[in-house]
Amino acid sequence: MTEPQPPSLDFEQVYRAGTTGATVPWNIGEPQPALAELVAAGWCRGRVLDIGCGTGELGLALAALGHEVTGIDLSPTAIELARATAADRGLTVDFQVADATNLTGYDAAFDTVLDSGLLHCLDSVAQDRYLGVLRRICGPDGRVAILCFADVPNARTPGQGPLTETRLRELFATNWSIAALDLVDIVGRIDENLGEISTWPRDQNGRTPMTAWRLTAHRR
């Protein structure tokens, strides 16, 4: 089965537009709740990587709990915003501009890797490269958590490369032990002029829940 390919999206352009007031749908001012649950439960350990960190809310939440955190993103504007927020909050996170599908200099460097919506932004070739990066940067028994749009019946997703259960299990079939694969929500800030997606139900904070997988796995 051929997986749908995500549309091309210029994330740097989106983040730049956000600095002048445009909505950045995935910027909700806090970590995604499905990953915040793991953080609150003490699931993260050791040195943590927030991969595809955007403006850094997840990494900053981890730093506030005392974790040693690195955050990487391909967008220089996102990293600038993340560094500024860290300074404002008096927190230390090593935010760096880097490509998650071609990440060098971090071999076996991390005990925990958190992905809040990066995997579904990659086409199938880039996903395979990305899994190679995850295997290389995780130390012995390293753990990863992936939050991505789900391709399941009656799913609500915006068309940004949702993944089937089969594809996720295929990606993590080698060198990984999947601990859990659950259907959860990704919440986003959706403008009212985006067609059908604008009519989807919203939560008490005015955010739109969308259908997602939360996968946790351990490096073998």
Among the residue ranges 97-111, 116-130, 194-208, the one predicted with the least confidence is: 194-208
Query: For residue 9, what pLDDT band results from cuts at 50, 70 and 90?
Result: low
Examine the pLDDT at 126 and tell me if it is beyond 70. yes
Backbone angles phi, psi at 79, to 5 degrees: -65, -40
Examine the pLDDT at 168 and tell me if it is beyond 80. yes
Mean of the per-residue pLDDT values of the chain: 93
Mapped onto helix, strand or coil, the DSSP state of residue 127 is helix
Secondary-structure class of domain 26-219 per CATH: alpha beta
- Report the alpha-carbon distance of residue 112 to residue 39 in Å, rounded: 11
For the segment 49-74, the average pLDDT, to the nearest whole number, is 98
Torsion of CA 155, 41, 144, 138, to 10 degrees: 170
Examine the pLDDT at 5 and tell me if it is beyond 70. no
Please, are residues 39 and 61 in contact by the beta-carbon 8 Å criterion? yes
- Report the alpha-carbon distance of residue 61 to residue 69 in Å, rounded: 10
Examine the pLDDT at 6 and tell me if it is beyond 70. no
Backbone angles phi, psi at 127, to 5 degrees: -60, -40
Residue positions counted in the chain: 220
For the segment 1-12, the average pLDDT, to the nearest whole number, is 54
For the segment 82-102, the average pLDDT, to the nearest whole number, is 98
Looking up tokens 């139900």 gives 201
**Concatenated DSSP letters of 93-118:** -EEEE--TTS--S-TT-EEEEEEES-
